[in-house]
Amino acid sequence: MTRNLTQTHALFQKAKQVIPYGVNSNFRYWGDEHTLVVTRGEGAYIWDADENQYIDYRLGFGPVILGHGYPPVVERVAAAIRDGTIFAWMTPLEIQVAERVARMTGVDKVRLCNTGTEATMHALRIARAYTGRERFIKFEGQYHGVHDYVLFSTASTPPGTMGSRRSPVNVQLSSGIPEGISHYVINLPFNDFERLEETVEARWPDLAAIMVEPLLGNVAGILPQPGWLEEIRELCDYHGIVLIFDEVKTGFRIANGGAQEYFGVQADLATYAKAMGNGFPIAAIGGKESVMMVIEPGKVAHAGTYVGNVVGTAAANATLELLETQPVIETIFQRGQKLMDGIDDILTRAGIPHRVIGLPPIFGLILGTEEEPTDFRAYLEGDAALYERLAMALIERGVMPDSDGREPWFLCYSHGEQEIAETLTAFEDAVKSVKRQT
């Protein structure tokens, strides 16, 4: 079974002439043979330049919560931008979006951004300005964007490089980051209560923030252990540390109120992006009044030429309105659960050791073990090569998860019963073909 990728390959070669590695984000580079050029999307489907059709479970790395090219959103954006896109003044749309974010998530105050990277970068600055402290804790396997402070021990970290659990090493994921930056970042294993308590007790006078993805949205959706987020909340309260939930992947996806609602833990600051605009560029920082109000002209910076632009705000206003008025997340949970159960059943019948992990709107698989991973180190013990072979066999069959098992499967409102059934049929076939090869 081999797709025709003639046009795709030709376009990719053209892209490489002018764009480093032929892509505009390193994560989209899958090598000469497998990097796709996509020409369109509709609902749960995308098509490459050779008109091969795929049921899409990458959804642009998570933003598409309703469906590709979702008409009710596209029409609202098209109507809004006819009157201009940017004015360097407030617009009524910005107010509406901020009101919706506050109502849905329970935050007191909201500032808009364009991307998740901008949101986490500003959140760290706000936390530092609020506490007068400089360091922060993040957790191994968490990706918070591409600014210098957070490119340590992310989900791209190679196995065996993070040192011991007792004494984790910051692994820098890029050249070009000034040497001193690592000093400000402390990476700890997710779900490790003892390590967290010890570190906070020892270091709290320097700690401005604990930044946590409430579930590991960049490592197959690994869930917090019972009490984990509550423990972080308690430590932050006790030591005056700002708790930042990075909800770029969980926000407006696992509940209308994101992880704060789903897990019942309130952060001091939360960062949103992705699902907030169904694929249009829009992001936000929300938080408690006392913390957010340190933002002040001339004193604590938050800014951006494109912040609050009409394209993103019109998209967010329409997307959030649909989330508030239609059973979007509920439907995604039902269909996603069917898919997770179906995958579990197929792998069990095939005798492949595995666990299906995460929540239905954002879930993942670990192969080669029956152990439920509770952190990034444990996930790396799985059989990544087998996962990649399975994912590539699925892609050949018109079902598109990421080829890297760390990136979760995402569902959207447009994945209907039929797409789930077709995915499971393709999955069964892909598993058989992978087993034949081994």
Ligand X SMILES: Cc1ncc(COP(=O)(O)O)c(C=O)c1O
- Residue among 35, 52, 115, 187 that touches ligand X (CB under 6 A): 115
408 DSSP assignment: P
Decide if 250 contacts 362 (C-beta within 8 A). yes
Whichever of 25 and 167 has its CB closer to ligand X, that residue is 25
Instruction: List Cβ neighbours of 88 (8 Å cut-off, separation of 6 or more).
Output: 305
Q: Are strands 45-48 and 53-56 parallel, antiparallel or unpaired?
A: antiparallel
Q: At CA 315, angle to CA 217 and CA 256, rounded to 5?
A: 45
Q: Could you give the residue ranges of the DSSP H alpha helices within 350-416?
A: 376-379, 384-396
Judged by CB under 6 A, the stretch of 139-147, 186-194, 254-262, 285-293 that binds ligand X is 139-147
Q: Looking at beta carbons only, is 146 or 293 nearer to ligand X?
A: 146
Q: Which amino acid is at 136?
A: F
Annotated catalytic residue within 143, 272, 379, 413: 143
The span from the CA of 356 to the CA of 383, in Å, is 14
User: Taking contact as CB under 6 A, which single stretch among the options 3-11, 141-149, 336-344, 364-372 is the one that binds ligand X?
Assistant: 141-149
Least Cβ distance, residue 357 to ligand X (angstroms): 17
Taking the least distance from each CB to ligand X, the nearer of 139 and 427 is 139
Is there a contact between 435 and 354 (Cβ–Cβ < 8 Å)? no
Q: d(Cα 368, Cα 66) in Å, to the nearest integer?
A: 33
Has 143 been annotated as catalytic? yes
Closest residue (Cβ) to ligand X?
116
- Residue 255, classed as helix, strand or coil, is coil
**Whole-angstrom Cα distance, residue 363 to residue 316?**
24
Single out the segment in contact with ligand X by CB under 6 A; choices: 97-105, 143-151, 286-294, 383-391.
143-151
Is residue 141 within the footprint of ligand X (CB under 6 A)? no
Radius of gyration of the chain, Cα coordinates, nearest whole angstrom: 21
Type of residue at 50 = D
If one asks whether residue 407 binds ligand X (CB under 6 A), the answer comes out as: no
Q: Which one among 46, 248, 357, 399 touches ligand X, defined by CB under 6 A?
A: 248
Least distance to ligand X, CB of residue 360, Å:
18
| Residue 153 interacting with ligand X (CB under 6 A) | no
Q: Is 410 in the site for ligand X (CB under 6 A)?
A: no
Binders of ligand X in range 256-295 (CB under 6 A): 273
Determine the number of helices (DSSP H) and then strands (DSSP E) in the chain: 14, 14
Catalytic-role residue among 48, 56, 192, 246: 246
Least separation in angstroms between residue 229's CB and ligand X is 15
Candidates 111-119, 129-137, 172-180, 324-332: pick the segment binding ligand X (CB under 6 A): 111-119
- Closest to ligand X by CB, 62 vs 382, is 62
Do 72 and 322 touch, CB atoms closer than 8 A? yes
Q: What are phi and psi of 101, to 5 degrees?
A: -60, -45
Residues 37/40/46/51 CA torsion (nearest 10 deg): -70
Q: How far is the CB of 209 from ligand X (least distance, A)?
A: 14
Q: Is 143 one of the binding residues for ligand X (CB under 6 A)?
A: yes
Query: What φ, ψ does residue 117 adopt, rounded to 5°?
Result: -60, -45
Asked about 274 being catalytic, the answer comes back as yes
Task: List the interface residues with ligand X, window 55-74 (CB under 6 A).
Answer: 61
Site map (CB under 6 A) of ligand X, residues 191-230, x = contact: ----------------------x---xx------------
Out of 125, 144, 397, 415, name the contact with ligand X by CB under 6 A.
144
Helix (H) or strand (E) holding 17: helix 6-18
Say which of 268, 274, 288, 402 is annotated catalytic: 274
Residue 378 engages ligand X in binding (rule: CB under 6 A):
no
The residue count for binding ligand X (CB under 6 A) is: 15
Binding test (CB under 6 A) with ligand X, winner from 116, 251, 312, 336: 116
The nearest distance, CB 63 to ligand X, in angstroms, is: 8
Part in contact with ligand X (CB under 6 A); list of ranges 93-101, 178-186, 246-254, 372-380: 246-254
Q: Which is nearer to ligand X, 45 or 61 (CB)?
A: 61
Full 3-state SS string of 153-194: CCCCCCCCCCECCCCECCCECCCCCCHHHHHHEEEECCCCHH
Q: How many CA atoms lie within 13 A of 438 on its CB side?
A: 14
Provide the minimum distance between the beta carbon of 123 and ligand X in the complex, in angstroms, as a whole number: 10
Among 188, 266, 205, 280, smallest CA distance to 240 is for: 205
* Residue among 263 and 427 whose Cβ is closer to ligand X: 263
Note the residues at the interface with ligand X (CB under 6 A). 61, 115-117, 120, 143-145, 213, 217-218, 246, 248-249, 273
Catalytically annotated residues: 143, 246, 274
